[in-house]
A and B are shown apart, each in its own frame.
Chain A
Amino acid sequence: MASDEVKVIGAWASPFVMRPRIALNLKSVPYEFLQETFGAKSELLLKSNPVHKKIPVLIHADKPVCESNIIVEYVDETWSASGPSMLPSTPYDRAIARFWAAYIDEKWFPSLKSILKAEGEEEKKAVLAQVEEGNALLEKAFNDCSKGKAFFNGEHIGYLDIAFGCFLAWLRVTELAGGHKLIDEVKTPSLSKWADRFCNDPAVKPVMPETATLAEFAKKIFAKPPA
């Protein structure tokens, strides 16, 4: 019988890698974190994720699981007896959570990334407007999903909190670089409070990079000359 060992292959700066780490923390599952070197891919990564060759990868009892949101569901289902459920209990609420998680990855995060890459005032303005539109939608989604509780998932951090919250450090870096607040008490009051609660949660704090450290890192990687 393979050992029950859990490993996560990842990198400290990646928001996607944060997702399985938070999930494992929430379920109190110990794991070994295997840090990839920036710019190179390890043998283990290439062997465990031959299709995409990307992090994060969770290896449980020698079997790999890939794709961050899929890993979070896997953790929730495998350690279902440990800690609260990360997905809501009704099929409808689960469908809503999955919908917004997909929206965040397919629409919201790409537009956040383009703020840092935008050239010229016109482009910057257009991209900012997109992100703010997304934030307004997510503010409403939060109010609908949380039903007055602390997190998207209710009393406890869940799948959608993790899917969105993992980007908060990068969001702060983008705000600093652009000199423009994206989530704040005026535009997105509910999200602003949720962001503080999320970042300070004991399952999140150890894996969320400090904004200053991340900002330094961002300068380095965006300073690379185009290939």
Chain B
Amino acid sequence: MGDTEEVKLLGVWFSPYAIRPKIALRLKSVDYDYFEEDLFGSKSELLLKSNPVHKKVPVLIHNNKPILESLNIVEYIDETWNASGPSILPSHPHDRAQARFWSAFVDDKWFPALKAAAITKSEEAKEKGMKEVEGGLLQLEEAFVSISKGKPFFGGEAIGFMDICLGSFVGILKAREKLKGEKLLDESKIPFLCKWANEFLSDDTVKNVVPEIDKVVEFLGELEVRAQSAVSKT
């Protein structure tokens, strides 16, 4: 299109939500300027101006217009650069509804359950929470088998919407396994998803976009220390 196309992405290296637009932009071979927000510091002027309602990353700024919410951004990228690269969302309305349904499940139920289980100090709540997370993975395994129909990704031959949504959390799952010995990606329970996770991480569009697992491990450890010292201050 026009040579004045300006694409900026505001994100935070650790954030799974910020990984999503990065993958989508790579799938569409779109060049962009990346701005790293200070995770523990104050929010930049640009962020506060572009996302006054939620003040959160990621934010995509295309020709000075901000687009917010990671999955919205992915759909926007798919629609705007529709002539470039594979289609991120499936083409059939029912398949699109499925992709949106499962991504809502991941964002509204599954990941919040994992976050809550990770943070809670109550052993009982942790156990209950982790059961919910494991149950969710079993449901996602079933969904994957039914949707992928034998192909490597939810999106078929190429990475699609649902792959981006769930895939953005794979790094955290692998890091937690290293840090806590927590084996959520258990081949004996969810063999297809485990295979999918490795396919996802080794894909060209994902490889250089997701942070290295060891960096995430280090960061998760640091988060924990900060959380504990915050508690001991009160």
Contacts and interface: CB of A to CB of B under 8 A. Distances in A.
Interface size class of B (residues with CB under 8 A): 20 to 34
Nearest to A98: B72
A77 B94 CA distance: 9
Contacts of A78: 93
Given A51-B139, A66-B101, A99-B68, A91 B94 contact: no
B77 to A, nearest CB: 9
Contacts, number: 53
Interface string A98-120: 11001100000000000000000
Contact of B94 (A63, A102, A137): A63
A99 B96 contact: no
A67 B100 contact: yes
A67 B76 contact: no
Given A51-B105, A77-B93, A92-B67, A70 B100 contact: yes
A148 B100 CA distance: 31
B97 A91 contact: no
Contacts of B76: 91-92, 94-95
Contact of B96 (A60, A66, A77, A95): A77
Interface of B: 53, 62, 65, 67-69, 72-73, 75-76, 79-80, 93-94, 96-97, 100-101, 104-105, 139
Which 3 pairs between the two chains have the least Cβ-Cβ distance? A91-B79, A77-B93, A74-B97
Interface of A: 51, 60, 63, 65-67, 70-71, 73-74, 77-78, 91-92, 94-95, 98-99, 102-103, 137
